[in-house]
Structure 1
Amino acid sequence: MIPRPAARLTRLLRSSSLPGASTYSPELLAAWHARSAASTSRWKQRQGRDSFARDAKVQGLKSRAAFKLLEMDAKYRIFKGNGQTVVDLGYAPGSWSQVAMERTRPHGRVIGIDLIPAQPPRGVTTFQGDFLSPNVQAMVKAFIVDSYQRQPFPPDGQDSENSSDDVDGEDVDRPSYIDMERHAVSSPDSSAPTSDASSKRLVDVVLSDMSAPWEQTSGFNVNTLSNPYHRLMNTSGNTFRDHAGSMDLCAAALQFASDTLKAGGHFVCKFYQGSEDKLLEKKLKSMFAKVYREKPESSRKESKEAFFVALRRKGHATVQLDP
């Protein structure tokens, strides 16, 4: 059985005994920051030797991860051009959203969700929040439905970028993540969409790159920036732990896709290889016509990461997480 992610992963995300918690002494915090600085230095050296990282910088891409999605799209034609709706789970720093926006222009909708604050690419609408929170998911689902009801596509020939020349991402006035969490405590059902809205499947592609955020390179003394990093499941070096965490996130992403993805839609998720991925693959095959395992050339050979590319959702197929 694929375990429900909330029990195992949320404890990790919300643990108070993480770096930066008040129970840590100044000496321990200083030692942790020293280790973080050393890790950042090694990451920068590796990036400097990485041809994909250099190419990403030259081409104005947010990160080298863009090439992974570009490779998979070239092979499987994930994006079909103008007008698709794409949801990018774990979008920061935004390279997959960049690719999705480019491949669905000029009238595509790209919606990103991440706990880490990041400047969205031009034309991308983003939510900063914990994807595992039911209230955050409900807000995103309601936004998708609302965007279809209130925001028709621009007329043919009109480039939607013309309306946002002065901003990189779409500026939508919405409550902050902290406001959403506080509001959920006082009225937990208020953020839920109507049953009619929750049953509408309007998304063409769901992308999930949530397993491992990129290295934090600045803002270590700013809690607004540092706390989300401390709460996320970063790669630990422990193969079993990284695999188990990625399976939880993939299961949550698949449940979201089951709720929002239209018939014929596609799903791409990153995972760390291990004993449980065959069960996830079985779940995917029950819901999609074709399922492939991919290890793009731009994925580092030493990394255990891989991707499931699930194509053409079956019309009435759904998936439910095991309790």
Structure 2
Amino acid sequence: MTSSLLPQPLLSLCLRSSSSLRPPLLLLHHRRTIKTKSSAAWLVRQQTDHLVASRGAFRARSAFKLLELSKHYKILKPSCKLIIDLGAAPGSWSQVALQGKGGGKVVVAVDLLPMAPIPGVHIIQGDFLDQITQAKIKQKLLLAGDGLRLKADLVMSDMGSNMSGLASMDQEASWKLTKMVFEFCKVGLRVGHFHGQDGIWRSGGTMIMKHFACPEIAEFRRTHLQRCFEEVYYDKPEACRKESAEGYFVCKGYKGDILQKAIEPPAPKEKWAEEEGDL
């Protein structure tokens, strides 16, 4: 229907309604300006970042973060054979893990996003907390490993949520990912035990997890990580950009799901010390 066929009052109403839905030109110009400045800053940062220039065959500069952590905490040693990389795309951490000392590594990379193949890496597209995806992970570990173990020596995650620019929303998203990785360890990370043949104690697996600063992290470390792992470290590798709020937990010697429940943020005044005798 053309505008000439509409009654004049209705035509005026339609024109006013249509114009009210369009953002002001000044606002659109402001958004474009922000986007242009952000893109330009990103390009400059990429061009001047020596790690970007020297990454070689690695798919992302984040590979250098894992290299630093592994060297300092002796993570990718010969005894670390079965490795799960959560939120693996684009795959740089899986590349580093595959090159760890001793050879014979089995690396299972999991992500919601599709990943280009990496020779020697078993890629699964799916949600790592989904039971079907977890069954696929165990199958890969069983078939590609020694045929006996269904849990990993190392669970690692370099996941980060998409930044919105709003601190409260970004902190909440990061906190959610932190809890998700910890929850996965309950079903995917090897627990410490005495070896059946020689009776020697074998420490539990290791978890490496990225997180961003948020109010809950310090309490989460004390009430959850330090309860379920023999050793808990916090580190910010030199490969991290100085302006970034990211850091990494390196947790060694998994003792299992001591808490026996899903992770919930602890109440601010909850007295966890009363439960210390339960450990």
Alignment CA distance shift 1:151-1:291 (3 Å): closer
Q: Give 1:152 deviation, angstroms.
A: 5.1
Which has the higher relative contact order, 1 or 2, with Cα contacts under 8 A spaced 6 or more apart?
Answer: 1
Give matches, 1:281-320, under 5 Å.
281-282=221-222, 283-314=224-255, 317=258, 320=261
SS in 1 for 2:190: strand
User: SS in structure 1 opposite 2:41?
Assistant: helix
TM-score scaled by length of structure 1: 0.62
- Which stretches in structure 2 are left out of the alignment for 5+ residues? 1-20, 192-203, 265-279
Note the aligned Cα RMSD (angstroms).
Answer: 3.0
User: Aligned match of 2:132 in 139, 150, 175?
Assistant: 139
Corresponding residue number in structure 1 for 2:158:
209
TM-score normalised to the size of structure 2? Answer: 0.71
Aligned-partner SS, 1:103: coil
Distance 2:62 2:133 in 1: 24
Q: In structure 2, do the counterparts of structure 1 residues 145 and 115 end up closer, same or farther at CA, with 3 Å as the change threshold?
A: closer
Q: Which position in structure 2 is the counterpart of 1:271?
A: 211
Larger Rg: 2
How far is 1:246 from its partner?
0.8
The equivalences for 1:144-155 within 5 A come to 144-151=137-144, 153=146
Post-superposition Cα deviations, 1:265-296, rounded to whole Å, max 9, x if no partner, equal 00011111121101221211111001011111
1: CA distance between counterparts of 2:119 and 2:23? 41
Q: Tell whether the 8 Å contact from 2:124 to 2:137 is kept in structure 1 after alignment.
A: no
Structure 1 segment 27-176 matched on structure 2, within 5 A: 39-56=38-55, 59-81=56-78, 84-103=81-100, 106-131=103-128, 134=129, 137-151=130-144, 153=146
How high is the sequence identity, in percent, across the aligned residues?
33
Alignment partner of 1:259 is 2:187: yes
Could you tell me how far 1:138 is from its partner in structure 2?
1.7
- The one-character-per-residue Cα deviations of 1:2-44 (angstroms, maximum 9, x if unpaired) are xxxxxxxxxxxxxxxxxxxxxx99999x988996676444323
* Post-superposition offset of 1:62: 0.8
3-state SS of the aligned residue for 2:155?
A: strand
User: Aligned partner of 2:57: which letter?
Assistant: G
Q: Which residue is equivalent to 2:12?
A: none
Number of residues paired by the alignment? 227
Q: CA deviation at 1:147?
A: 3.2
1:236 is aligned with what amino acid?
A: S
Instruction: String of CA shifts for 1:47-72, please: whole Å, max 9, x gaps.
Output: 1111111111xx21111101111111
Q: What is the alpha-carbon distance in structure 1 between the residues aligned to residue 234 and residue 213 of structure 2?
A: 10
Between the aligned partners of 1:143 and 1:45, the Cα distance in structure 2 is: 41
**Equivalent residue of 2:240, what SS?**
coil
Give SS of 1:252's match: helix
Report the 3-state secondary structure (helix = DSSP H, G, I; strand = E; otherwise coil) of the residue aligned with 2:99: helix
- Cα deviation for residue 322 of structure 1 reads 4.1
| Structure 1 unaligned residues grouped into runs of 5+ | 1-23, 155-199, 212-232
